[in-house]
Structure 1
């Protein structure tokens, strides 16, 4: 059984100011296996975040269906952890309490929350920062807190919406390596939204390339280059040329339609 099954999904938004409908996602079909690491790659505004939000249950498809673990997605659920572009931490809580916040909502006592949070704090490399507050951490460290918080929910699927976009190049590279290490250890399913070709090829075991809006799946291919990946290798650059060719073709299509 597929971990995630997206079947004939479209999403239309109504623009009240202009009294018209906008088709954001058009007839997307995508099957994602258990323990896969899929990168949704596409230009800004192509609908990749909208598709991720529908998997999360924050948005509902206009037509079609999405299933996770064989169950139809109707609303957000604990089987799907979400990491946003900004970590959305609570500034008045320290690292341990931010990571364990959903346990507080479930009524777990503070000592028990911190004990459960500790292994995930260790996993993301924040040992020793348990009592630090978000304002005392770097952007990359705050994203680690967001990842630990998502992992603590023990989800089947982690959904990530350009979580490293605001980081500097060196920190981004470190976070990419850290995320791969975590994924290889816990073997959950990850769907990662990005508009960076290099980031998709560094991270993904599969790359799904989306068209300009309305977003469709233009190409979908497995990428099994050994890790850590050599970005100068012929295989890496062959895949990069393949994707860049699609992007250039999309740009040319958009110019002709203008």
Structure 2
């Protein structure tokens, strides 16, 4: 049984100004096995984040089902950690307290919180910055804190919504390498939203290519590339050309087929 099962999912949003609902997702089917790294790739507005929010339990399908670990998702849970586009850290708390905030909410004593946080601070490469505040860190470092916070909950699934979108290219490449290392070390299952083909190919074991709204899965591609991935290799660029073809407007595909 797959760890994540998305079956015949549709999502409609009411739009009073248009007088009819907007179809965000239409008949989406995806299966994610344990320890896979799935990248959801598609144009802006295709429903990638909506789908991620359904796995997280923040949103629900209008029809169809989303299951994690064989159970229908009805609300957020500790089996799913979420890393957002912005790290959303508490600026008045140092790094270790941001990482351990979940434990504080459960009433864990300070010594236990500090000890457990340290493991994940080390894992994301922030040893020595435990007592720094978010304002004293770079954007990439703050995102590492957000990843450590998600990992501390020991989730089966880590959900990431374009977490590196605001970073410069060099920092982004560094974070890609770090995330792959963390994924391997933690043996987590990751679902990662992106609109960058190169980012999806640099990270994913699989890439789900989505159409423009209403979002559908055009193709689920297993990515057979060695790591670290060479973005200049012929095989990498073969994948890139194929995905670019999939992302072309469907009207162009219909014209091609008719020609």
| Aligned equivalents of 2:242, 2:18: Cα separation in 1 | 38
Q: How does 1:1-258 map onto structure 2 within 5 Å?
A: 1-250=1-250, 252=252
Task: Tell me how far apart the structure 2 counterparts of residues 94 and 119 of structure 1 sit (CA, whole Å).
Answer: 16
Q: How far did residue 250 of structure 1 move? A: 3.8
Cα distance, 1:253 vs. partner?
Answer: 6.5
How far apart in 2 are the matches of 1:242 and 1:207? 12
Q: Secondary structure at the match of 1:167?
A: coil
Instruction: For structure 1, list consecutive stretches of 5 or more residues without a partner in the other structure.
Output: none
Q: What number of residue pairs does the alignment pair up?
A: 255
**Deviation of residue 202 (structure 1)?**
0.2
Three-state SS of the structure 2 residue aligned to 1:158 is strand
Aligned-partner SS, 1:229: coil
Deviating above 2 A after TM superposition, structure 1's stretches of 4 or more consecutive aligned residues are 16-20, 248-255
Between the aligned partners of 2:89 and 2:57, the Cα distance in structure 1 is: 21
Is contact 2:210–2:247 with CA below 8 Å preserved after alignment?
Answer: no
How does the TM-score come out when normalised to structure 1? 0.96
Distance 1:187 1:216 in 2: 29
Deviation at 1:111, TM superposition (A): 1.4
Deviations 1:128-171 (A, max 9, x none): 00000001100000000000000000000000000000000000
Pairwise CA RMSD? 1.4
Give the superposition deviation at 1:254. Answer: 11
What is the rounded CA distance, in whole Å, between the counterparts of 1:251 and 1:51 in structure 2? Answer: 24
